[in-house]
């Protein structure tokens, strides 16, 4: 089994992650999106596809639904720009993708607490500093992506970690 993440699943991805998620860097939204797709292409061709070819199960934290939700719905980049880049970078789609859905305020609160606990507020907290409206738009982006892609399942994110994990397992099975 390969456990991986985007951005950051490759050596160059780790460098891109440092720029994309850090509050030190103020990128143009289009530049930000292109870097996410650079990471995805490298990640898929160098890690994910070889692992799949070796018969491994691959679990990735974040994938194309996140880019769609954050860049198109959150940042307001035209969907056609996203689609053009996706056409280049998306070499495979998952058998199943899970979106853990919750009210934006709960998501922001959890994310900020995790960043504080891990000491990564500045190095990975750029998005968590954005407005409630941004995250409301992002949530709508995730839900829209799920409606348009049959491999995506929505999991209710309310409850304890154990309760949410039980719903995740139910969806995977």
> Residue 22 — pLDDT band, cuts 50, 70, 90?
confident
> If you count DSSP H runs as helices and E runs as strands, how many of each does the chain have, helices first?
9, 4
pTM of the model: 0.91
Q: Domain 2-172 is in which class?
A: alpha beta
Are 85 and 34 spatial neighbours (Cβ–Cβ below 8 Å)? yes
> Residue 34 — pLDDT band, cuts 50, 70, 90?
very high
CA 82 to chain centre: 14
Q: What is the mean pLDDT of residues 13-42?
A: 93
Q: For 104-134, how does the pLDDT look when each residue is reduced to its tens digit (9 = 90+)?
A: 888 888 888 888 888 887 777 788 888 899 9
Range from 33-37, 45-49, 106-110, 144-148 carrying the lowest mean pLDDT: 106-110
- Predicted confidence at residue 126, as pLDDT, reads 83
């Amino acid at each position: 089994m390969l456990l991986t993440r985007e951005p950051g699943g490759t050596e160059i991805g780790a460098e891109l992650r440092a720029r994309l998620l850090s509050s030190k860097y103020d990128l143009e939204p289009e530049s930000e999106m292109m870097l996410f797709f650079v990471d995805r292409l490298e990640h898929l061709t160098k890690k994910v596809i070889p692992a799949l070819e070796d018969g491994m199960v691959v679990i990735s934290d974040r994938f194309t639904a996140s880019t769609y939700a954050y860049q198109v719905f959150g940042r307001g980049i035209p969907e056609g720009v996203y689609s053009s880049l996706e056409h280049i970078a998306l070499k495979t789609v998952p058998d199943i993708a899970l979106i853990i859905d919750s009210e934006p305020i709960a998501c922001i609160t959890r994310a900020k607490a995790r960043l504080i606990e891990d000491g990564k507020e500045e190095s990975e907290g750029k998005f968590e500093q954005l407005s409630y409206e941004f995250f409301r738009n992002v949530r709508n982006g995730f839900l829209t992506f799920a409606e348009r892609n049959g491999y995506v399942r929505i999991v209710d994110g309310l409850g304890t970690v154990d309760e949410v994990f039980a719903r995740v397992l139910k969806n995977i099975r």
